Amino acid sequence: MALSESTEGNWDLSDLLRNWAYEPGKLNVRVITGVDGEPRIQMRLDLGVLQMHMEGRPDGQRPRGFESLLEYHESRMDSVRQSPSEPGIGESYGESAGFVLTPEDCRELREEAVQYYHRYMSLLVVKDYDGVVQDTTRNLRVLDLCAKHAESEDDRAALEPFRAYITMMRARALASQALEDNEPKAALHAIDEGLDALRQHFQNTGQDSAFETSGEVEMLRGMRESLIPKLPISPRAELRRRLDAAVKSENYELAAILRDELRQMGEG
């Protein structure tokens, strides 16, 4: 059946797309206000526009009455953990050994994770770093859930190739937010934690050598290097810098005073 103009109005998006041109190689994102007065985030694609809710599931749906399918399955898992049924061999009360995700469950979770991927990429552009951290942390929970509870080995491994990228994006957002808050030391800490998580990931998957060639590691290291000049200079480092300058300029009287100050700080 051919689509026709609705009696409620013209559904053609041509004017909207014409007024917001697609730019190849650039992530075009904007925040608008929906007809309900709530904010929406839009991403311009070559063939149209993605529009997402800023809170909850990006498409605004509440599957099975939960905020997302992830929350639904986590609730199922919690119910299994709290079940008073007799544990089997090798199991104990409070574990979730009886909880499994079917191939259909895993497919739905992957499709839902893609929605959150589009949103956290969009949120990064508009510098909503807290939102990026929330959505990347959430998608890492999906990876953990599938890796541990998927019925099929293929489903347990399907999302693992994305773990390094999501980990990097989360660390990048945490560091970016810290810089927005003028906290370069906190930004450095976030990056170092991200690098440690990536190193652990590659070790866990038997890819130790991949750490040094990883694009995600390169990204975080580059961000770290750009941060170093922004870190506040410690009093001791500042004294050493002034001492070096005094010696080079042959201002030995000042150099002696600075040495005394360093000695009092524990350097002799």
What pTM was computed for the model? 0.79
Question: Would you list the domain boundaries of the chain?
Answer: 54-81+99-232, 233-268
- Determine the pLDDT at residue 111: 98
Topology of 54-81+99-232 in CATH? 1.25.40
Least confidently predicted of 23-32, 106-115, 137-146, 249-258: 249-258
Helix or strand holding residue 19 (H, E): helix 14-19
Q: Which tokens in the block code for residue 75?
A: 């609730």
Predicted pLDDT of residue 90: 40
pLDDT classification of 86: cutoffs 50, 70, 90: very low
Mean pLDDT of 3-16: 70
pLDDT in tens, 35-59: 999 999 999 999 999 999 999 999 9
Q: Taking a C-beta distance cutoff of 8 angstroms, is the pair 34, 132 a contact?
A: no
Decide if pLDDT at 1 tops 60. Answer: no
Instruction: Report d(CA 267, CA 141) in Å as an integer.
Output: 48
For 240-260, give one letter per residue: b (16+ CB within 10 A) or e: eebbeebeeeeeeeebeebbe
pLDDT value, residue 89:
39
pLDDT bin (cut points 50, 70, 90) of residue 94 is very low
